[in-house]
Amino acid sequence: MPCGYRAAFVTLGTYLSRGQNTIETIVTKWAPPSENNTAGYIEKVAKYSGVPKDKPLTAFDGADYILIVAAMSAVENVVNANINQIKAGFALQKKITIQ
């Protein structure tokens, strides 16, 4: 499972390099309105993560990204994610760091 979370962080790092640096822009790309209730998804990720939906993130905001991935996993799977697996996945990638 950590490899799946690693893939999520790599994807979010790619999004960041393309200017998608808020929960709003991340989720809109991840779960487009043509296929999802994107507005609801954004609200849930912001609520579950505690990260404001319009907070600009940088490549040094790894702690926030960990919370966001945990929230996205909970939305996608309807169960809370194992935070240790998420942190293990985070450790396997190099695009996002913790300052």
Q: Using one digit for the tens of pLDDT, what is the confidence trace for 23-81?
A: 999 999 999 999 999 999 999 999 999 999 999 999 999 999 999 999 999 999 999 99
Q: Using one digit for the tens of pLDDT, what is the confidence trace for 7-28?
A: 999 999 999 999 999 999 999 9
Place of tokens 């996993």: 73
The rounded distance, in Å, linking the Cα atoms of 60 and 41 is: 24
pLDDT at 12: 98
pTM of the predicted protein model: 0.96
pLDDT at 99: 87
pLDDT at 1: 72
The rounded distance, in Å, linking the Cα atoms of 66 and 86 is: 7
